[in-house]
Amino acid sequence: MTDEAKRGWRGEYPVAVDSKWRIGIKPALKEFLGNEFIVCRGPDNCMYLFEPNEWEIFYQELKDANNYFLMQVMGGSGTPVTLDGQSRLSIPKFARDWCEFQPNSTVSVIGQGRWTEVWESGKWKDYLKGFTTERFLEAVKSLR
């Protein structure tokens, strides 16, 4: 794994969900996640992907926070997955239902460093509508 991959994957790309509920994982993301990684529920009906070591750190943080709700919703859904020979992820049933993914549709894959989010593309576009100047300026204040 390159030093860049060790720092986490960042970026955004659309990808098709095929008729068998699979999505393609780009080479740069695969370098970070590997062939085997963890899928779990994310907030706002998205799916999170974690590299296994990063998942263990995140899961321990959930346990240390003693937050039963997050342990149930996120920790309880943590499911190991393995890419097929064509670097495709078969989306687990719980994630298809939670995220409201549909076969023969498009999802948005967004790298967040420690984890990767996968959103139904229409929901991602709606979410981005909340990125206003006012919200940006408020968020920037918290960085100081």
pLDDT attached to residue 10: 83
> What total of structural domains would you count in the chain?
1
pLDDT of 6 reads 52
Q: Is the dihedral of CA 8, 51, 44, 98 positive or negative?
A: positive
The secondary element (H helix, E strand) that includes residue 14 is strand 9-17
Q: What is the pLDDT along the chain (144 residues), one digit of tens a residue?
A: 454 445 677 889 999 999 999 999 988 888 888 899 999 999 999 999 999 999 999 999 988 888 889 999 999 999 999 999 999 999 999 999 999 999 999 999 999 988 999 999 999 999 999 989 998 898 888 887
pLDDT for the residue numbered 53: 92
φ/ψ of residue 24, rounded to 5: -85, 140
Q: What is the pLDDT of residue 7?
A: 63
CATH code assigned at 7: 3.40.1550.20
Whole-number pLDDT of residue 29: 84
Closest-CA residue to 40 (of 3, 4, 74): 74
